[in-house]
Amino acid sequence: MTAHRGWVGPGLLVGAGIGVWSVGNWIFFILVGRLLGPRDYGLVAALLSGCLVIFVLCSGLQPTLAQSNRGNPPDAIFVRALRLTIMTTVVVMIAGAAVVLMASTLISGFPTAATLGAVAVLAAIAIFPLSLGQLQAEGRFGSYALGFITVGITRPLAFLALWFCGIKVLSPLLGTSASWIIGSAVTLVFARRALRTPPIARTATQW
């Protein structure tokens, strides 16, 4: 019975968190479709679909980090991985912005502003699953679920706030970026103990 309770409780927490996240995404897309109209919604949906592909790829960081932490000092691995992820994200965003600006000079009618908004979505797209992996390794599934809940609630709210500020087409993209950043901030706060640990050496066998 103890073992049964040991996985059912965390499973329900994670399921509830992902459920709120899914409902939040559902509400977000309904609002975007209603407020933007078919033409702008199609553009935003295409850009966010591309970001989703990248997020799915980055999601592999979560189980990889959680598995690597088993039997090893987890905090040091997390700090090194987080630093590498942040540096990689900055490089990718700069390169992506450069490509977008170049394309805008070569292609007439290129949606420069909207595509730059999609680049902004990448800001925390890898940091979020990485921090979830740390919480998973620590067995802190309540904090893990709160990360998903934060993103699910803030995404439609951030979109509406930006929309009413007059940003319009960029609002769903920047709102999505804001929700991932806030969600990452929340999970990093929960994983703050790990951030105080010196990073693992690059030559270590665990790395």
Q: Is the pLDDT of residue 4 over 70?
A: no
Split at pLDDT 50, 70, 90, the class of 3 is: very low
User: Which tops the pLDDT comparison, 60 or 18?
Assistant: 18
pLDDT at 206: 56
pLDDT at 181: 96
Q: Is the pLDDT of residue 66 over 70?
A: yes
Query: What mean pLDDT value characterizes the chain?
Result: 87
**Whether pTM exceeds 0.95:** no
CA-closest candidate to residue 182, choices 139, 141, 145, 153: 153
Angle between helices 112-121 and 74-106 (to 10 degrees): 170
Q: Which of 64-68, 178-182, 196-200 has the lowest mean pLDDT?
A: 196-200
Give the chain as a 3 state SS string.
CHHHHHHHHHHHHHHHHHHHHHHHHHHHHHHHHHHHCHHHHHHHHHHHHHHHHHHHHHCCHHHHHHHHCCCCCHHHHHHHHHHHHHHHHHHHHHHHHHHHHHHHHHCCCCCHHHHHHHHHHHHHCCHHHHHHHHHHHHCCHHHHHHHHHHHHHHHHHHHHHHHHCCCHHHHHHHHHHHHHHHHHHHHHHHCHHHHCCCCCCCCCCCC
User: Which tops the pLDDT comparison, 154 or 62?
Assistant: 154
55-62 average pLDDT score? 84
pLDDT tens per residue across span 115-158: 999 999 999 999 999 898 888 888 888 999 999 999 999 999 99
